[in-house]
Amino acid sequence: MIHPTAIIDPTARIGEGTRIGPYAVIGAGVVIGADCEIANHVTIAGPTTIGDRNVFFPYGSIGQRTQDLKYAGEPTYLEIGHDNSFREFCTLNRGTAPGSKTTIGSHGNFLAYSHIAHDCTVGDHVIFSNNGTLAGHVIVEDHAVIGGLAGVHQFCRIGRHAITGGCTKIVQDVPPFMIADGNPAEVRGINQVGLERRGFDPESIRSLREAYRILYRENLNTRQALERIRETLPANAEITALLDFIEASKRGIVR
């Protein structure tokens, strides 16, 4: 299950059924769960903890030290959930401050050259298209889609079930359920196709479409738009999530 040319640090822990290919390097402090696939020439540095059934395609660089110039060598961490696919040349960095960590959830699909920088938090069921790139301290919520060649500025958030277009520049938060596209990004509408595919009921989609119209088409500022949404729309789970996300924004939302 481990190719003879692979280099495995004696302190690394490898789960049952995990396969490690030629010339892979597994460093000190790495914990890999069961039934993972580590392809040829993958490097995994520690401290990094990886769950079960993850697949790493060739030439990935996983758990390397942060690129933040403030880093002074303290122990920092990377944690990865279960059932993810990391295609060729993905790069995932550990945190910066002592004890900090970068966290990636489960069931994600990260295409070639995806980059997740230090201290990011990435949820479950996400998709990163080729060259999807996160700066430090970015939060990507569940079921979000990052378009190819899209770049997300540090400390931004991408809401759940949101999607960013290819080559999009994100410098503020993208509200959940929305489509953001452009350079700089603008919100173009709700992610209706994605919501339908994931089984959202028609009434919830209609409410989100109306919330989008109030936020982006009525020439209201954000505070006024939130008040109008509360006055006119039912407080279902989706509308509540949208309002909570916007009210928690520190960088403002993409308009």
The active-site residue out of 46, 95, 132, 136 is: 136
In a domain, 177, yes or no: no
* 118: nearest Cα among 148, 150, 89, 78: 78
Of all residues in the chain, what percent are helix, strand and coil, respectively (each to 5)?
Answer: 15, 30, 55
* pLDDT for the residue numbered 167: 97
Give the chain's length: 255
What is the number of domains present in the chain?
A: 2
Catalytic (active site) residue 118: yes
pLDDT of residue 157: 98
Residue (of 159, 150, 152, 126) closest to 137 by Cα position: 152
Find the domain containing 202 and state its range.
196-247
Identify the band that residue 10 occupies on the pLDDT scale cut at 50, 70 and 90.
very high
User: Residue 53 has what pLDDT?
Assistant: 98
- Is 174 a member of any domain? no
Which residues lie across from 44 on neighbouring strands?
26, 62
pTM of the model: 0.96
The verdict on 86 and 201 lying in the same domain is: no
Same domain, residue pair 29 and 126: yes
Distance CA 37, CA 56 (A): 6
The arithmetic mean of pLDDT across residues 166-184, rounded, is 97
- Could you confirm whether 115 is annotated as catalytic? no
Point out which residues pair with 190 in neighbouring strands.
Answer: 178
- What's the CA gap between 190 and 3, in Å, rounded? 48
Residue 1 lies in a domain: no
119, 124, 173, 181: the active-site residue: 119
- Say if strands 127-128 and 48-50 run parallel, antiparallel, or are unpaired: unpaired
CATH of the domain at 55: 2.160.10.10
Residue 166: partners with Cβ closer than 8 Å, 6 or more residues away: 129, 147, 148, 149, 150
95 is catalytic: no
Averaged pLDDT for residues 8-14: 98
Any domain includes 182: no
What percentage of the chain has pLDDT greater than the value 70? 100
CATH number for the domain spanning 238: value is 1.20.1180.10
Same domain, 16 and 91: yes
Q: Which of 41, 115, 118, 137 is catalytic?
A: 118
**pLDDT tens profile 209-245:** 999 999 999 999 999 999 999 999 999 999 999 999 9
Other C-beta atoms closer than 10 Å to the C-beta of 123 total 20
For residue 104, count CB atoms less than 10 angstroms from its CB and return exposed for 0-12, middle for 13-18, buried for 19 or more: buried
| Domain final residue, candidates 120, 137, 154 | 137
Which residue type sits at 135? A
Contact yes or no for 28/49 (Cβ under 8 A)? no
User: Between the CA atoms of 208, 146, 154 and 139, what dihedral angle is there, to the nearest 10 degrees?
Assistant: 60
User: Would you say the C-alpha torsion 7, 10, 15, 16 has a positive or negative sign?
Assistant: positive
pLDDT value at residue 137? 98
